[in-house]
Amino acid sequence: MPARSDEAVIDVRDAHVSFGAKRVLRGVSVRVRRGETVAILGESGGGKTVLLKVMLGLLTPDQGSATLLGVDVAGRSDDALIPLRKRCSVVYQFGALFSGLDVGENVALELREVLRLPAKEVDERVRWALDAVGLAETNPRLQPEELSGGMKKRLAVARAIAPRPEVIFYDEPTSGLDPLNSARILKLIADLQARLGVTSVVVTHDVRGACAISDRLVFLSGGVVAFDGPPDGFLASTDPRVVAYRESVAGPTRTGAA
C-alpha cells in the first residue's frame, strides 16, 4: 500500500454556494491527504452532497476554489475534466446500476467504453473487482434486480474500483441497508483503503460507521465546518452543534470495527 503523505489530493478553500436566497456553504475549507479516509457528516440539507459536487467539479462555488489531484476544477467544462475523472470513481447512494446490463457487464462497461482496455484485461479486472467485494461466487450473468440490497451496494463498489482509481467518493454507502449489511459495506471501504491505498471521501449520516473507518471526520453545520478532526475528538467534543447532532442520531457511537 502506498504510504500516506501530506500531499493534498482534494483541497477546497473558502467555498461559498448559494441557491437563490439559500446559502448552503458559507466559507467551507476541507483538505484531504493522499491515502486518507475522510467522512463528511451533517444534518439533511446541510451541504454534504453540495460539497461533494464541488470537490468533483460538478458544481462551481460562487466564491472560493477547489482542486482535485492538483487540478483546479472550478469552472472547467465537463470535457476538460474527463481525464481527471478517469482517475476517480463515485459510489452513488442508490447504486445507479445499469438495469439493462448483467453483473459482469456493469463492472466491465467503463473499462471497455471509457478506458478502452483489451478484452483480456477487462475480464481480469472484472474478476478481480468482484472478488475484492466478496462477489466472486456470484453468477456474473445475473441481473441487478436479482441481487439483494447488500449485494447491489457491493456491486456498485466493484464497478467503482475496477478502473483502479486514486480517489473514491461514496455518497451515503449504507443508506437503506440493515445493520449487518451496513457493517459489511463499511468493512469493505476500510479494507479497500488498507489494501489499495485509495483516498476515500464518505458522505454519511452514520456516525458509528464513520468513526469506525475514518481517519478524520468533517462535520458541517449551518453551512460551515463545525468540526474537522479524528473520530475520538468528535465523540468527545462539547461544541453544542456536535453534541446536538450526536444526540439526534440513532444507536451508540463508538470507535472500533463495525
Q: Which three-class secondary structure state does DSSP give residue 195?
A: helix
CATH number of the domain bearing residue 217: 3.40.50.300
Is residue 131 situated within a structural domain? no
Is residue 112 situated within a structural domain? no
For residue 221, what are the β-bridge partners?
A: 224
pLDDT of residue 226: 95
Is residue 42 situated within a structural domain? yes
Is residue 256 situated within a structural domain? yes
Residues 6+ apart with CB under 8 A from 191: none
Is residue 118 situated within a structural domain? no
For 249, the domain range is 1-78+199-258
Is residue 121 situated within a structural domain? no
pLDDT of residue 194: 82
Candidates 94, 117, 128; CA nearest to 196 is 128
pLDDT of residue 82: 86
DSSP tag of 84: H
**Distance separating alpha carbons of residues 45 and 198, to the nearest angstrom:** 28
> Where in 121-189 does DSSP place strands (E)?
167-171
Is residue 50 situated within a structural domain? yes
Q: Which three-class secondary structure state does DSSP give residue 8?
A: strand
Question: Beta strand 63-68 with 71-72: parallel, antiparallel or unpaired?
Answer: antiparallel
pLDDT of residue 113: 87
Q: Counting beta carbons within 10 angstroms of the beta carbon of residue 17, is it exposed (0 to 12), middle (13 to 18) or buried (19 or more)? A: buried
Is residue 30 situated within a structural domain? yes
pLDDT of residue 34: 92
**Distance separating alpha carbons of residues 231 and 234, to the nearest angstrom:** 5
Distances (CA, A) of 121 to 106, 112, 129: 15, 10, 12
pLDDT digit of tens for each residue in the chain (258 aa)?
444 557 889 999 999 999 999 999 999 999 999 999 999 998 888 889 899 999 999 999 999 999 999 999 987 888 888 888 889 998 887 668 888 889 989 999 989 988 899 999 999 999 998 988 888 888 888 888 888 878 888 898 889 888 999 999 998 887 777 787 788 788 888 888 888 888 999 998 888 888 989 999 999 999 999 999 999 999 999 999 999 998 887 554 444 433
Neighbours of 15 (CB within 10 A): 27
Number of domains in the chain: 1
